Amino acid sequence: MQNCTMKPEELPGLRERKRAALKKRLIDTAIDLFLERGYQETRIEDITTAADVSRRTFFHYFSAKDDVVTGRFAQQADYLRETFVARPADEPIWDSLRETCHALFVAYGVNKQRAASLRKLIHGEPALFARKYDFYLRAQAELIPVVKQRLGRQADATLLANVLVRSALAAQDAAGELQAKGTERETPRKLLERAFILARPAGLDERAVR
């Protein structure tokens, strides 16, 4: 009889975690090299050597060099969804979105200089800047369904979820842009809070979005 017992490393959950960890290593390594050497000056061979993987492994996860940045955007979008879902269910949704965006900044922008350098790199490279919109599409796709779920069966739940998520992401982007440029003296937290106050949809009924 054939032995169908799976080895621990072959278990689906463990395999997925190992793949996710390797993909994250490739993304982190590539971005470090982009910031150190420049995007154009960094070759795929440089990334694979630094990450200690083969070209074949790299192309298993990414079809091109700029896909690495898209991969980071996907990580951030997934983080937004997971963080929002973990917020208290009775917390006003607009507050949950603000705290979710702040958590993203803490997780990915704790090194202010690195975050600013990465933003400058993305804005300075047409191939990367063209991919920036991918983050918003992915973030919207991840957040809108879970926000709509929190809204329940109230009228216009789909439209309201879209408005809330798009407004929150716009506030997050505006605050992040000013923070990266260093034109504001406020802390990232205060800047984000002010952006959310300004971006709060007019006529938003807190009772309807709890």
Q: How far apart are the first and last CA of the chain?
A: 57
Q: How many CB atoms lie within 10 A of CB 201?
A: 14
Structural domain includes residue 209: no
| Domain shared by 100 and 183, yes or no | yes
State the pLDDT at residue 69.
87
pLDDT tens digit string along 126-141? 888 888 888 899 999 9
Instruction: Report, as an integer, the average pLDDT of 86-111.
Output: 88
State the pLDDT at residue 184.
67
| Residue-level length of the chain | 210
Containing H/E element for 76?
helix 67-86
| Domain shared by 89 and 182, yes or no | yes
What are the phi and psi torsion angles at 69 (to 5°)?
-65, -40
Range of the domain at 190: 66-204
pTM metric for this prediction: 0.79
Domain boundary among 63, 84, 106: 63
| Domain shared by 52 and 98, yes or no | no
Question: Angle, nearest 10°, between helix axes 93-108 and 157-181?
Answer: 40
Domain boundary among 63, 78, 93: 63
The candidate with the shortest Cα–Cα distance to 155, out of 101, 97, 108, 209, is 209
CA distance 29 to 68: 10
Of the chain, the percentage scoring pLDDT greater than 90 comes to 51
| Domain shared by 90 and 138, yes or no | yes
Structural domain includes residue 1: no
State the pLDDT at residue 34.
92
Buried b (16+ CB within 10 A) or exposed e, 171-196: bbebbbebbbeeeeeeebeebbbbbb
State the pLDDT at residue 116.
76
pLDDT tens digit string along 39-60? 999 999 999 999 999 999 999 9
| Domain shared by 23 and 119, yes or no | no
Give me the CATH number covering residue 17.
1.10.10.60
pLDDT tens digit string along 142-185? 999 999 999 988 878 999 999 999 999 999 988 888 877 766 67
Q: What one-letter code names the amino acid at 45?
A: E
State the pLDDT at residue 109.
64
| Domain shared by 164 and 83, yes or no | yes
State the pLDDT at residue 46.
96
Structural domain includes residue 3: no
Domain boundary among 63, 81, 101: 63
Q: Which two tokens stand for residue 143?
A: 């957040």
